[in-house]
Amino acid sequence: MTEPPVTGGTEAHTARFPTETPPAAASGHVTAGGGLPLLEDVPAWLTARITLRQRIGDHLLVVGEVESGAVAEDAPALVHHDGAFAAARRLPSQ
């Protein structure tokens, strides 16, 4: 099955995440409460408080409690799976 293309203007933002440059340094951003950088021109954002850090094998599981967030536009959800980005879409009704 072919994955749908990334849409909704997210291509430019997703191209930065696999790099060494932190996202806030790579593009325009605004400062939220507490000095947190938030990317500009993204369809949605959230901030979270870390509630758990757990080593699992050679991975680190980080769990957070969402404290704030907003949706700036109606855009498809962005999915990263198996090394690629795609836009999520609803499954057809059965």
Query: pTM score, two decimals?
Result: 0.50
Most distant CA pair in the chain: distance in Å? Answer: 47
**Domain segments of the chain: what residues?**
11-87
Backbone angles phi, psi at 26, to 5 degrees: -85, -15
More confident residue, 63 or 17: 63
Distance, CA of 33 to CA of 47 (rounded, Å) = 10
Distance, CA of 80 to CA of 73 (rounded, Å) = 20
Name the pLDDT band for 5 (thresholds 50, 70, 90).
very low
| CATH superfamily, domain at 11-87 | Electron Transport, Fmn-binding Protein; Chain A (2.30.110.10)
Reduced to 3 DSSP states, what percent helix, strand and coil does the chain have, rounded to the nearest 5?
10, 45, 45
